[in-house]
Structure 1
Amino acid sequence: MVYDVSVDRVNKVKKFLRQHLHWVQNSVFEGEVTLAEFERIQEGIKELINKDEDSVIIYKLRSMPQRETIGIEKNPIEDII
């Protein structure tokens, strides 16, 4: 999961994600979670961000990699490399 959020929300998002995932580097988290935990993370993020200004991208890397965006799509892409 990667995020680009307003300065006034960045610490709240980081603190929330550190409860669920491993902090890799600035604005980047990763981890293996259950479906129920994944849904809790999604709902928590939706409550913390402004969907009209912020962007959170979730990469699901199971059998077929998928990309999901919460908030604005800053740079749409077709393929994940």
Structure 2
Amino acid sequence: MYVIIVYDINVDRVNKVKSFLRQYLYWIQNSVFEGEVTESEFKLIYDGLKRIIDEDVDSIIIYKLRMAELLNREVLGIEKSPIEEIF
């Protein structure tokens, strides 16, 4: 499956979240990661994020697609972290 994760995390935990997500996904720009993962990897990501964040303060939005080909990705302006190998 292809996932896009967008987050708004308290400054005390933001580096933990960023470091954790870099193990599984591509950093796209501030607070945005995306990439192809298996069901088991997604479960690891989901469970790991739940352990790191404070659900009373932090916010994470996860978009899941069955295949990357279903995503029409368009960038306006500067692409902070080009990831040509995704498509």
- Taking structure 2 as the reference length, what is the TM-score of the superposition? 0.71
Mark the runs of 5 or more structure 1 residues left unpaired by the alignment: 66-81
| Identical residues among aligned pairs (%) | 65
Q: Let me know the Cα RMSD of the aligned residues.
A: 1.6
Q: Give the structure with higher Rg (CA).
A: 2
Whole-angstrom CA distance in 1 between matches of 2:30 and 2:44: 22
How far apart are residue 62 of structure 1 and its match? 2.1
Q: What is the CA deviation profile of residues 1-57 of structure 1, one whole-angstrom value per residue up to 9, with x for unaligned ones?
A: 000010000000000000110000000000000000000000000000000000000
Pairing of 1:2-81 with structure 2 (within 5 A): 2-62=6-66
Q: How many equivalent pairs are there? A: 65
Counterpart of 1:54, as a letter, is: D
Runs of 4+, deviation exceeding 4 Å: none
Give the unaligned 5+ runs of structure 2.
Answer: 72-87
